């Protein structure tokens, strides 16, 4: 292959630029060229792309977000739209596509390959860390560290006032972000979508710690189906304990910011490997992390599985260490 395309799709996450940089520089070092489709699959449909070279992706490894933009495209779900996009790709001389995103993006990429014959490779990028076949997705480590910084600062006020703080983190269908944040942040409790009926246990746990004289009470809440769910949780727990509380919704602050070393490293390996897979004629793969190594995982396996369960041992650990 002499000319490839790349796009970032779905929610943005810190480290996507590092993946973009690695993919482009790997491609150019092998005598090929790369274009970036703007705003995800939307740019593929329109079409709207820019030429990417070594200088274009210079000085972006430390930047959050994605310089080529991202979105969720309803139009790309139409098979006829995908056929037209594939025909335009071929007319533009673009022979393969790298997709950075989550499992929804990979379903679109796999359909594009199977229906239209376009070689594709995937790079998992989601702060929810809920893609099957990889231990780490780009953006997760930075999002956890962003939440930790907020919790460390909130704790000062919690200790000073004795109030409970319910800190809502992202995670609509996955509690991975909440669980890692709770353990690393020394939270007094954590509520996640995968573990139901935990509020009663949380109340008793907090009641016991308050009776022992503990003043700092940080409870991490995954947002679940709708953002703002921590308000109802806080109200119920505050009423049961007759104890003052506040709610902090971190929201999209978790998506931005400078990527951590971990996210830069994982993204750089994934970007380079995805580019090499296509250049060497391998298609329909995702570059995942398994056992501390970057490996190729068939996209058919990725999309055929449900979101992986987070490590619920961390729930027990957070409760055990809550004090």
Q: Which pLDDT belongs to residue 308?
A: 85
The pLDDT assigned to 168 comes to 96
- Please say whether the beta carbons of 22 and 272 come within 8 A: yes
What is the predicted pLDDT for the residue at 199?
87
Neighbour order of strands in the sheet with 189-191: 189-191, 217-222, 164-169, 245-249
The enclosing domain of 160 has a CATH number of: 3.40.50.460
Domain shared by 80 and 108, yes or no: yes
How far is it, in rounded angstroms, from Cα 219 to Cα 206?
Answer: 10
Given a contact cutoff of 8 angstroms between Cβ atoms, the answer to whether 7 and 68 are in contact is yes
Q: What would the two tokens of residue 193 be?
A: 């979508």
322 lies in some domain: no
pLDDT band, residue 290 (cuts 50/70/90): very high
Range of lowest pLDDT (17-26, 273-282, 307-316): 307-316
Enter the tokens of residue 123. Answer: 């790079």
- Containing structural domain, residue 226: 141-255
Q: Which of 206, 230, 226 lies closest to 216 in space, CA to CA?
A: 206
How many folded domains does the chain comprise? Answer: 2
156 is catalytic: no
Could you tell me the pLDDT band of residue 259, with boundaries at 50, 70 and 90? very high
Residue 16's CATH number: 3.40.50.450
| pLDDT tens profile 41-93 | 999 999 999 999 999 999 999 999 999 999 999 999 999 999 999 999 999 99
Choosing from 12, 103, 128, 130, which is the catalytic residue? 128
In a domain, 309, yes or no: no
What's this model's pTM, rounded to 2 decimal places? 0.94
Is 134's pLDDT higher than 80?
yes
Q: Are residue 151 and residue 86 in the same domain, yes or no?
A: no
User: What pLDDT band is residue 250 in, cutting at 50, 70 and 90?
Assistant: very high
Whether 318 maps to a domain, the answer reads no
**pLDDT tens profile 135-175:** 999 999 999 999 999 999 999 999 999 999 999 999 888 89
The answer to whether residue 89 is domain-embedded is yes
* Residue pLDDT, tens place only, 93-124: 999 999 999 999 999 999 999 999 999 999 99
Q: For the chain, what percent of residues have pLDDT higher than 70?
A: 100
d(CA 175, CA 135): 14
Q: Are 221 and 188 in a shared domain?
A: yes
- The verdict on residue 92 lying in a domain is yes
- Find out whether 36 and 20 touch, Cβ atoms under 8 Å: yes
Same domain as 193, residue 97: no
Domain-embedded: residue 314: no
The last residue of one of the domains, among 192, 227, 255, is 255
């Amino acid at each position: 292959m002499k000319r490839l395309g790349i796009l970032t799709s779905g929610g943005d996450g810190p480290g996507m630029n590092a993946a973009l940089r690695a993919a482009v520089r790997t491609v150019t070092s092998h005598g090929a060229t790369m274009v970036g489709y703007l705003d995800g699959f939307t740019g593929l449909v329109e079409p709207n792309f820019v030429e990417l070279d070594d200088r274009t992706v210079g000085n972006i490894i430390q930047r959050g977000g994605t310089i080529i933009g991202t979105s969720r495209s309803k139009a790309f779900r139409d098979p006829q739209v995908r056929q037209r996009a594939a025909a335009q790709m071929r007319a533009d001389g673009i022979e393969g596509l790298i997709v950075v995103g989550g499992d929804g993006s990979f379903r679109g990429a796999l359909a594009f390959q199977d229906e239209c014959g376009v070689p594709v490779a995937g790079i998992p990028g989601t702060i929810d860390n809920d893609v099957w076949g990889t231990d780490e997705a780009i953006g997760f480590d930075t999002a956890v560290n962003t939440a930790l910084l907020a919790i460390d600062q909130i704790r000062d006020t919690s200790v000073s006032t004795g109030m409970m703080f319910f800190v809502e983190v992202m995670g609509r269908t996955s509690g991975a972000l909440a669980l890692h944040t709770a353990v690393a942040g020394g939270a007094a409790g954590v509520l996640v979508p995968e573990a139901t009926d935990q509020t009663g246990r949380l109340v008793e746990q907090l009641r016991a710690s308050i009776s022992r004289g503990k003043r700092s009470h940080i409870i991490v809440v995954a947002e679940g189906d709708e953002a703002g769910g921590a308000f109802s949780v806080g109200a119920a727990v505050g009423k049961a304990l007759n104890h003052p509380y506040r709610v902090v919704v971190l929201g999209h602050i978790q998506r931005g910011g400078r990527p951590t070393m971990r996210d830069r490293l994982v993204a750089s390996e994934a970007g380079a490997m995805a580019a090499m897979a296509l250049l060497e004629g391998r298609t329909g793969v995702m570059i995942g992390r398994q056992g501390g190594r970057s490996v190729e995982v068939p996209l058919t396996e990725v999309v055929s599985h449900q979101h992986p369960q987070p490590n619920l041992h961390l729930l027990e650990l957070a409760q055990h260490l809550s004090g």
